[in-house]
Chains A and B, each alone.
Chain A
Amino acid sequence: MKTLILRRLTGAAIGLFVLTVVTFVMVRLLPGSVEDVLLGTDGATPEVREAFRAKYGLDDPAFYQYTKWIWSLLQGDFGTSIRSGNSVSDELRSKAPASMIIATLAVVASFVFSVILGTAAALRRDRLVDRLSTLASIVGSSVPDFVVGLLLLVTFARRFDFLPTFGYEPISSGLWEWARHLLLPVTALSLALVGVMTRLTRSSVLATLDEDHVRTAVGKGLSRRRILTHHVIKPSLIPVITTAGLLLVAVTGGVVVVEYVFAIPGLGRLILDAINFRDYPMIQGAVLFIGILAIVVSVFVDLIHSVLDPRVRSD
């Protein structure tokens, strides 16, 4: 276990380093520049532009900029957003929680639904439940999430005036308010995830049902429930959990559309705005943040993995 963690940490460090280089280079390859956006392309004199670049250290050689960034990162300083003047960490602190909560809730909720639905479909293979769940999965994963989002908005928020149409309330403003604001975006996001994970659960359970050890369990005279929980579902969950972890990371940084539809100030919008603005420090900081998140999640998934599957542990 100790070597496993050590190996993961080394891998994480290398991964993050590569990520900083790639982000740094990519950001600078973007056409246009922050002064173009801020000062306009024709208004400012070259002197003003020079002064602006000098102020933010953008006239330094690229390598110097990079080392400076890394040096401050190592001291826990993510830099300062050019656009807002706030520190990147503050920006992340105010925007990231909404996205992370929405993404986590969506992944957890769809995981639970998928396991139930996928198992039911596998156990009643080619029967009504299976066909319906297949159909629902295909629809769920092919309809874009903003369409689902808009539909939900129109129905529940506009027509029935039952839920708020937009915004995000932190949990400090009350559990009920918090939940009310989250319900629609989480649902919109979940539908596609349920589609993917239900199919995966179904095929995984079907494969397990064919395995010899399930026949052994039946031959031991165990109850149907015991066979399902301990001998079928548990071993079937392993690939589903891996996928859920990957989806969690993908969804956290990629819920831009849903954030727009529901007017939630989240991580996706933060990054999109930063890119439009060529706000280099902000883009770099946000991407790095998602990178760290990805590593934390994957370590977590590995831990769950090793609890579920002893064969992984003894490696």
Chain B
Amino acid sequence: MSNDPTAPLLKVRDLRVAYKTDHGLQDVVHGVDFDVYPGEAVGIVGESGSGKSTVLLAAARLLPSNARISNGSVQLDGQDLATLDQRTLRTVHGPRIGMLYQDSLRALNPVMKVGDQVSEMLRAHGYVGDRDEKVVDLFRSVGISDPEGRVSQFPHQLSGGMRQRVMTALSLALSPQLLLADEPTTALDVTIQAQILDLLRHSAVEHGTATVIVSHDLGVIANLCNRVIVVYAGRVVEQGPTDAVFADPQHPYTAALLRAVPRVDTGLHRLPFIEGQPPEPEAMPAGCSFEPRCPVSISDCSTAVPPLRSFGPDRQFACIRDQVADSVAVALTASVETGAESPQLNESDDSLVVIRGLTRSFKIGRGRNRPQLRAVDGVDLEIRRGEFLGLVGESGCGKSTLGRLLVGLDKADEGEVIFNQVSASAGNNRSPRQMRKFSQMVFQDPRSSLNRRMSVAEHLEEALVNAGVERSGRHKRLLELLDQVGLPVSALTRLPHEFSGGQAQRIAIARALAVRPSLIVADEAVSSLDVSVKGQIVNLLRDLQQELGLTVLFISHDLGVVRNVSDRVAVMYLGRIIELRKTDELFVSPHHPYTQALISAVPVPDPVVERRRERITLQGDVPNPSDPPSGCRFHPRCPVGPLKNPDRHICREESPELDLDGSAAACHFASDFAAEQAHGS
């Protein structure tokens, strides 16, 4: 083993990976080169289908059985892994390469105790010493509380954050030279993500491990990595130090991507996006794969694949043009500014929907005394006519349940919803069918919320029949709907799976519009879309809101998107709304400590800001919603509550009200908190 810090630890050269398909082998990674030096953290960033995870799995020789390395070498400390036999490979996996995956629930064996899953690895590599003790130590080192108790639990008994800590302990158990992490925080809530990012940063340093992190999230990369590799359609398009690449990107794609990321620290009212979508592996352009979407392409771009060329001593990019990236960024910014200058902030007090004391609880488990989970717990909320209201919160906070109650997909236990001055209370419910003429939902995954055997025309026609549109008027209305969501007439005869994710979401929106609803509830409607297309759908919703006078309730865990499109934002925590204010005010000076922690936990795609920013890392997990804490539900995690100020008994005893005329935050110390903040900054 060499300890020369100037020699690369991992050297990937001309890596090509092909997948078996019905039409033979299909290349998805087309010759990737990169180096990883000892102790550094390298980020591989790209959108879905770019091949970023495939590169990582190929480097670890953990590709699925239908994929294989067709060419190239992966040298770890001079040893080529690409051609290594299985027996030798086993000695590499664990002591030399540690793996960290995205979905810890699926990546851990469901029928084996988590302690055993670490311990069996120690044994397989001949660990001498007390394995049980070592596992407990490892668990403690990754911040697992009560490690002695946890080792004998099964994965499903742990929270997502705890499971990811177990995965981390597993990946670092044998202090590998190299840690390969595939979207290590993507499935986590932001406050938990912040904890895991801290953990990864410190553990890697502690174990002297070099890290390669694959992520679609430029913020995570900016937070964690000193070098970044940008991949597009199976090729590296740019690489270099994170600071330099983020500050001064050279490739038009990098520049556009950086501009398209909805940032939590800047507010626009629309999102920039890149026209079109990435090429399919079977239809790769002959030249530069970004050329069809590139705003600055010239005719030479489509003749040959541009080679990586050097830019300064430690940077490379693959574009035949010089100094064009800036203009791409400028154009993209301009597109947003001209698109919606001075958005009509809806100041009207005219309420479209008034929600009073709305409660929905679910019984969980079995038995007579089974606990009740109050997913939505006495929510009061007014949605103003024509506004774009963002609803944010972490998983399990009840935001989706609230959305479902508003479209009649679920029934409240208590409280009432008044639409346009017509009440739908818990006891005297308007029929869900009637409710759906008024409000419609757009779901997260258009592919599964559309029937895969029904054409677009059939989907829309069904909705129109439901809306009571006469046969004679249907075709005209159908074309109108297509036009409103920006789909061509030729889309009518096609099936949902023939569309990309973004296009399919347009179909779902058209279907929702068919009944001419007043309210659209968009539940994580852009969360599964790539950054470069996310803006297309968000802006469409925004346009529809303005053109048709729609009211939009935009439910999302993505604070960056919410910041950039909403007029007002409501923050939910454990079934309650804890802050509700105008977007810019809320993001610039949050009044509730939870809101502040939430915002500060979101990494922004700017390494300089990431280093400087003071992050409030919340301790622990979100409490069990079936047994919420007394008083203020946030008090056990609150950075200004009784944890820090023991004299603040009121937090434990009394539940704070959301005072809409005053602070607009449900916190006993909201005004103090706001003042402290103003003072501090």
A220 touches B106 (CB 8 A): no
The closest CB in chain A to the CB of B156 belongs to A311
Count B interface residues, CB 8 Å.
34
Any B CB within 8 A of the CB of A28: no
Task: State in angstroms the CA–CA spacing of A218 and B108 once bound together.
Answer: 12
A231 touches B109 (CB 8 A): yes
The 8 Å CB contact of B124, one of A210, A226, A315, is A226
A221 touches B124 (CB 8 A): yes
Any B CB within 8 A of the CB of A93: no
A212 touches B93 (CB 8 A): no
Residues of B69-112 whose CB lies within 8 A of A: 86, 89-95, 97, 99, 101, 103, 106-112
The 8 Å CB contact of A311, one of B92, B110, B124, B365, is B110
B90 touches A308 (CB 8 A): no
The 8 Å CB contact of A222, one of B64, B101, B107, B121, is B121
Looking at the assembled complex, report how far the CB atom of B650 sits from the nearest CB atom of chain A, in whole angstroms.
37
Any B CB within 8 A of the CB of A216: yes
> Binary interface profile of A, 26-52, with partner B (CB < 8 Å = 1, else 0)?
000000000000000000000000000
Residues of chain B within 8 A of A217, CB atoms compared: 109
Residues of chain A within 8 A of B612, CB atoms compared: none
Residues of chain A within 8 A of B318, CB atoms compared: none
A234-B124 contact in complex given A220-B170, A221-B94, C-beta closer than 8 Å: no
Task: State in angstroms the CA–CA spacing of A3 and B369 once bound together.
Answer: 13
> Binary interface profile of A, 184-216, with partner B (CB < 8 Å = 1, else 0)?
000000000000000000000000011111011
Any A CB within 8 A of the CB of B430: no
A216 touches B101 (CB 8 A): yes
> Binary interface profile of B, 340-382, with partner A (CB < 8 Å = 1, else 0)?
0000000000000000000000000111000000000000000
The 8 Å CB contact of A310, one of B90, B99, B154, is B154
Looking at the assembled complex, report how far the CB atom of B661 sits from the nearest CB atom of chain A, in whole angstroms.
46
Residues of A4-28 whose CB lies within 8 A of B: 7
Task: State in angstroms the CA–CA spacing of A310 and B117 once bound together.
Answer: 15
The closest CB in chain B to the CB of A215 belongs to B62
A308 touches B367 (CB 8 A): no
B121 touches A235 (CB 8 A): no
Any B CB within 8 A of the CB of A230: yes
Any B CB within 8 A of the CB of A85: no
Any A CB within 8 A of the CB of B275: no
Any A CB within 8 A of the CB of B125: yes
Task: State in angstroms the CA–CA spacing of A222 and B99 once bound together.
Answer: 13
Looking at the assembled complex, report how far the CB atom of A252 sits from the nearest CB atom of chain B, in whole angstroms.
29
A315 touches B365 (CB 8 A): yes
Task: State in angstroms the CA–CA spacing of A218 and B90 once bound together.
Answer: 8
A216 touches B157 (CB 8 A): no
The closest CB in chain B to the CB of A310 belongs to B154
Looking at the assembled complex, report how far the CB atom of A313 sits from the nearest CB atom of chain B, in whole angstroms.
9
Residues of chain A within 8 A of B121, CB atoms compared: 220-222
Residues of chain B within 8 A of A75, CB atoms compared: none
Any A CB within 8 A of the CB of B653: no
A213 touches B156 (CB 8 A): no
A220 touches B62 (CB 8 A): no
The 8 Å CB contact of A220, one of B64, B93, B367, is B93
Any A CB within 8 A of the CB of B198: no
Task: State in angstroms the CA–CA spacing of A7 and B90 once bound together.
Answer: 47
Task: State in angstroms the CA–CA spacing of A235 and B156 once bound together.
Answer: 14
Count chain A CB atoms within 10 A of each CB in B106, B109, B125, B367 and give the residue with the most: B109
Any A CB within 8 A of the CB of B672: no
Residues of chain B within 8 A of A219, CB atoms compared: 60, 62, 93-94, 97, 99
A221 touches B109 (CB 8 A): no
Any A CB within 8 A of the CB of B120: yes
The 8 Å CB contact of A218, one of B91, B93, B103, B156, is B93
Looking at the assembled complex, report how far the CB atom of A229 sits from the nearest CB atom of chain B, in whole angstroms.
11
Looking at the assembled complex, report how far the CB atom of A227 sits from the nearest CB atom of chain B, in whole angstroms.
10
A212-B101 contact in complex given A221-B92, A226-B120, A308-B111, C-beta closer than 8 Å: yes
Looking at the assembled complex, report how far the CB atom of B194 sits from the nearest CB atom of chain A, in whole angstroms.
25
Residues of chain A within 8 A of B64, CB atoms compared: 210, 215
Residues of chain B within 8 A of A212, CB atoms compared: 101, 103, 106-107
Residues of chain B within 8 A of A218, CB atoms compared: 62, 93
The 8 Å CB contact of B154, one of A226, A230, A311, is A311
The closest CB in chain B to the CB of A222 belongs to B124
Compute the total of residue contacts between A and B using a CB distance below 8 Å. 86
A220-B94 contact in complex given A226-B124, A230-B112, C-beta closer than 8 Å: yes
Looking at the assembled complex, report how far the CB atom of B540 sits from the nearest CB atom of chain A, in whole angstroms.
34
The closest CB in chain B to the CB of A311 belongs to B156
Residues of chain A within 8 A of B365, CB atoms compared: 315
B106 touches A213 (CB 8 A): yes
Any B CB within 8 A of the CB of A173: no
Looking at the assembled complex, report how far the CB atom of B174 sits from the nearest CB atom of chain A, in whole angstroms.
9
> Binary interface profile of A, 67-110, with partner B (CB < 8 Å = 1, else 0)?
00000000000000000000000000000000000000000000
Task: State in angstroms the CA–CA spacing of A211 and B107 once bound together.
Answer: 8
Residues of chain B within 8 A of A273, CB atoms compared: none
Task: State in angstroms the CA–CA spacing of A271 and B125 once bound together.
Answer: 60
Residues of B472-515 whose CB lies within 8 A of A: none
Task: State in angstroms the CA–CA spacing of A210 and B156 once bound together.
Answer: 19
Any B CB within 8 A of the CB of A59: no
Residues of chain B within 8 A of A231, CB atoms compared: 109, 112
Looking at the assembled complex, report how far the CB atom of B66 sits from the nearest CB atom of chain A, in whole angstroms.
10
Residues of chain A within 8 A of B91, CB atoms compared: 221
The closest CB in chain A to the CB of B116 belongs to A230
Residues of chain B within 8 A of A309, CB atoms compared: 110-111
Task: State in angstroms the CA–CA spacing of A158 and B87 once bound together.
Answer: 52
The closest CB in chain A to the CB of B365 belongs to A315
Residues of chain A within 8 A of B65, CB atoms compared: 209
Residues of chain A within 8 A of B112, CB atoms compared: 230-231
A220 touches B111 (CB 8 A): no
B108 touches A220 (CB 8 A): no
Any B CB within 8 A of the CB of A172: no
Residues of chain B within 8 A of A215, CB atoms compared: 62, 64, 101, 107
Looking at the assembled complex, report how far the CB atom of A202 sits from the nearest CB atom of chain B, in whole angstroms.
16
A315-B110 contact in complex given A221-B90, A221-B92, A222-B124, C-beta closer than 8 Å: no
A211-B99 contact in complex given A219-B93, A310-B154, C-beta closer than 8 Å: no
A221 touches B125 (CB 8 A): yes
The 8 Å CB contact of B109, one of A209, A213, A223, A315, is A213
A223 touches B124 (CB 8 A): yes
Task: State in angstroms the CA–CA spacing of A234 and B93 once bound together.
Answer: 23
Residues of chain A within 8 A of B101, CB atoms compared: 212, 215-216
Task: State in angstroms the CA–CA spacing of A217 and B110 once bound together.
Answer: 12
Residues of chain A within 8 A of B107, CB atoms compared: 212-213, 215-216
The 8 Å CB contact of A223, one of B90, B95, B366, B367, is B90
Task: State in angstroms the CA–CA spacing of A308 and B365 once bound together.
Answer: 21
Residues of B32-74 whose CB lies within 8 A of A: 60, 62, 64-65
Residues of chain B within 8 A of A3, CB atoms compared: 366-367
Residues of chain B within 8 A of A210, CB atoms compared: 64
> Binary interface profile of A, 106-120, with partner B (CB < 8 Å = 1, else 0)?
000000000000000
Looking at the assembled complex, report how far the CB atom of A231 sits from the nearest CB atom of chain B, in whole angstroms.
5
B109 touches A230 (CB 8 A): yes
Q: List 17 A-B contacts (CB under 8 A).
A: A3-B367, A210-B64, A212-B101, A212-B107, A213-B106, A216-B108, A219-B97, A220-B94, A220-B99, A220-B124, A221-B90, A221-B91, A223-B124, A235-B109, A311-B154, A314-B154, A315-B365
Top 6 closest pairs, chain A to chain B, by CB: A221-B93, A221-B94, A219-B99, A310-B154, A212-B106, A220-B121
A binding-site residues for B, Cβ under 8 Å: 3, 7, 209-213, 215-224, 226, 230-231, 234-235, 308-311, 314-315
Q: A226-B120, A310-B110 are in contact. List 4 more A-B contacts (CB 8 A).
A: A212-B103, A216-B109, A221-B94, A221-B125
